[in-house]
Amino acid sequence: MRKKILCLLLVLLCASIAIIFPPKQYKSEAMSTSAKGMCLIEQETGRIIYSKNENLKLSMASTTKVVTAITVIENCDNLDEKFVVNNESIGVEGTSIYLRKGEEVSVKDLLYGLMLRSGNDSAVALACHVGGSVEKFAKMMNDTAKKVGANNSNFTNPHGLDDKNHYTTAYDLAKISAYALGNDTFKEIVSTKSHIIPATNKSDKRYLTNKNKLLTSLDGCCGVKTGFTSRAGRCLVSSAERDGMTIVCVVLNCGPMFEESASMINSAFENYKKVKLIDKNIAIEDEKIGNKEYKQLYMYPEEDFDIVLSQNELDEIKIEYNFNGNKAEINSVVGEIKIFLKKDLIKTIKLITMNKIDKMIEADLL
């Protein structure tokens, strides 16, 4: 059956998009950054908005702890569980919450120590508790990365201290961070400005302040993690949410990491919007059944589809609704929706029947 574009739906779609975007013409400024590697994406759709050397393998210092935290959260049944930290976590090099031998602390408090204070001792204590050892936990971290499609990374430790075999890319780290932000516990921790770890059997209260300055200076900031070593330079994963869209920005080896990240995030919000192109809850009714009653054929898209678009890209979206076959049971695939940006096919979605049909014929749609 020949292809048809549902013009009416496309007109309505464009009208709704015009409401989302004011009529002024947006101009995306060219992004310049001193970062050795950079990637800025929209969290839900994963679309890359700005990038520079995004696939270059680099050291990432304590931004490693994004992977550590989400791996712990997903592999620990009870975050409020308290346990005695192991001796290996005492006196770890670098930043620390100063755990003491024989100290009993909850998993969740150690996660705050990990992400706010960047405690390397917290990282080792969590790794050994959840994975059994640093080495076994590193394998779990790599499994987490592979699960989200971060295939150009390798983790050998939970804290990010320099190791030639410990590396990531700006794109990989952006994907992992976007995934982690989908977890409510992770998002709650990394967006927290300060936290108090209650007194333990070995220590008085610990007062933690988040090192991420953007939490108090960038509109909508909701995380994520700072990092620095001599090898990695200054590194930052940052995120902000405005009007239902969440931006994730990764800069690796970037001197003015806060300033440049804020500038790029603000630019992304100014120049891009998230648009729902396909809504699976809206039935498509424009094909008729070939019988005397002319019953309506009801179909629905198999899934939603949201996309992040610049103002200039709006006119370059094309949607085709393709139908095939002449008989179908309920919940049968009878066609597909194809979405193009310029001439590139960016998404194909199945069309599913809501009712049984005996014969399907072409009909004028307008």
CATH number of this structure's domain 58-218: 3.40.710.10
Helices 134-147 and 170-180 pack at an angle, to 10 degrees, of 90
Buried b (16+ CB within 10 A) or exposed e, 23-62: eeeeebeebebbbbbbbbbbbebbbbbbbbbbebebbbbb
Q: Which of 256, 179, 255, 271 is nearest to 223 (CA)?
A: 179
User: What pLDDT is attached to residue 296?
Assistant: 60
The pLDDT tens digits of the residues spanning 124-143 come to 999 999 999 999 999 999 99
**Does residue 117 surpass a pLDDT of 80?**
yes
d(CA 346, CA 15): 21
**pLDDT-derived band of residue 32, with 50, 70 and 90 as boundaries?**
confident
Tokens of 103: 């100290």
Query: Cis (ω within 30 of 0) for the bond into 67?
Result: no
User: What pLDDT is attached to residue 353?
Assistant: 81
- Mean per-residue pLDDT, 83-105: 96
Asked whether 59 and 165 are in contact (CB, 8 A), the reply is no
User: What pLDDT is attached to residue 169?
Assistant: 98
Burial class of 164 by CB neighbour count within 10 A (0 to 12, 13 to 18, 19+): exposed
- Mean per-residue pLDDT, 67-76: 98
Task: Give the chain's mean pLDDT.
Answer: 86
The pLDDT tens digits of the residues spanning 217-255 come to 999 999 999 999 999 999 999 999 999 999 999 999 999
DSSP states of 187-251: HHHHT-SEEEEPP-SS---EEEE-S-GGGGTSTTEEEEEEEEETTTEEEEEEEEEETTEEEEEEE
Question: DSSP letter at 93?
Answer: S
User: What pLDDT is attached to residue 322?
Assistant: 81
d(CA 339, CA 321): 9
User: What pLDDT is attached to residue 191?
Assistant: 98
In the chain, residues under CATH classification 2.30.140 are: 7-16+276-361
CATH number of this structure's domain 7-16+276-361: 2.30.140
**pLDDT-derived band of residue 85, with 50, 70 and 90 as boundaries?**
very high
In the chain, residues under CATH classification 3.40.710.10 are: 58-218
User: What pLDDT is attached to residue 342?
Assistant: 87
Compute and round to an integer the Cα radius of gyration of the chain.
25
CB count, 10 Å around CB of 357? Answer: 24
Measured in degrees and rounded to the nearest 5, phi and psi for residue 84 equal: -85, 120
Q: Read off the pTM.
A: 0.83
